[in-house]
Amino acid sequence: MDLHLNGDVAVVVGGARGLGLAIASAFVAEGAQVAILDRDPDGPAEARRLEEASGTRCVGLVVDATDFDAVRGAADDVRGRLGRCDHVVYAAGVGSGKFGFPFWELDPSDWDRVLRVNLVGAANIAHAFAPRMAEARTGTLLFVASVAGQMGSQTDPPYSASKAGLINFAQCAAKDLAPFGVRVNSLCPGMIKTALNRSVYEAWAGRQGRGKAGAGGPIPSYEEWAGEKVKALVPLGRWQTPEDVAAMAVFLASPAAGNVTGQTINVDGGYVMHW
């Protein structure tokens, strides 16, 4: 399916690995030029790999989204090297690294980094890129949130709260930018085998004690633990993949979604259903 993104310029923040890399790859497959912004030093190498494999111009910049001056400089750099910016996807995200049930098992200090990366970083990116999109009267912003931000997941309260805030900010931005023809949406993945998902298991398992679960049985492996969650919580009964999320991301950037803004789109196998 031709989504008519050929020649567009897409910026993917957090594009050096995981969901972000899958989204960057999907834009390249549609013929878009891509800039990967990531604090991971592998970002430029991934951009070169995508460019060599596709022949499409790609650049990689090492940028910490929580540093607004650096983000503003990166936005200027992208425009200088690729000429413009049509689409921005914020796919950076972190968890607390702890199992947060009940929430008072965490320390207040566990919240700061999660909120800064997941929410303040997204605001920094929007401040740096959105005004020029408004001037051009075209463009899209997409924030990768989470189903956890819609249902108060107790697994990691800082993560859930930050993603809820991100969804709300996306709605605010969508209202502000709609008069300029710029669309803003949130995309919420469900159960995906990512490093973040595994870290939740590791935090949970670490709390269970040495080799024994609370009920006295052996601690299940990650595959067993996660597989049971998928079967219990996901109506379609299967994992979602980074490619599933990436396919929705490029669709939302395309003219085919030209009347979609301010929405929270779930790619979750039916995990969250609003009645």
User: What are the sequence ranges of the domains in the chain?
Assistant: 9-195+241-267
How far does Cα 149 stand from its chain's mean position?
12
Residue 270, CA distances (Å) to 125, 173, 273 in order: 30, 27, 6
pLDDT of the chain along its 275 residues, tens only? 789 999 999 999 999 999 999 999 999 999 999 999 999 999 999 999 999 999 999 999 999 999 999 999 999 999 999 999 999 999 999 998 887 778 888 899 999 999 999 999 999 999 999 999 999 999 999 999 999 999 888 889 999 999 999 999 999 999 999 999 999 999 999 988 777 777 777 777 777 764 444 455 688 888 888 888 888 889 999 999 999 999 999 999 999 999 999 999 999 999 998 76
Q: What is the pTM of this model?
A: 0.92
Q: Determine contact, residues 230/185, Cβ cutoff 8 Å.
A: no
3-state SS class at 62: strand
Residue 275 has a pLDDT of 62
Residue 28, CA distances (Å) to 8, 34, 80 in order: 10, 7, 19
Residue 251 has a pLDDT of 98
Residue 256 has a pLDDT of 97
Active site residues: 159
Q: Determine contact, residues 11/35, Cβ cutoff 8 Å.
A: yes
Nearest to 152 by CA among 139, 141, 142, 165: 165
3-state SS class at 111: coil
Enter the tokens of residue 93. Answer: 């995200």
Buried b (16+ CB within 10 A) or exposed e, 31-67: bbbbbbbbbbeebbebbeebbeebebbbbbbbbbbbe
Q: How far apart are CA 267 and CA 240, in angstroms?
A: 7
Q: Rounded to the nearest 5°, which phi and psi values hold at 91?
A: -115, 10
Residue 211 has a pLDDT of 41
Q: Is 205 exposed, middle or buried (0-12, 13-18, 19+ CB in 10 A)?
A: middle
Return the CATH superfamily for domain 9-195+241-267: NAD(P)-binding Rossmann-like Domain (3.40.50.720)
**Beta partners for 189?**
267
Residue 194 has a pLDDT of 74
Q: Determine contact, residues 160/109, Cβ cutoff 8 Å.
A: no
Q: Rounded to the nearest 5°, which phi and psi values hold at 142?
A: -135, 125
Residue 209 has a pLDDT of 60
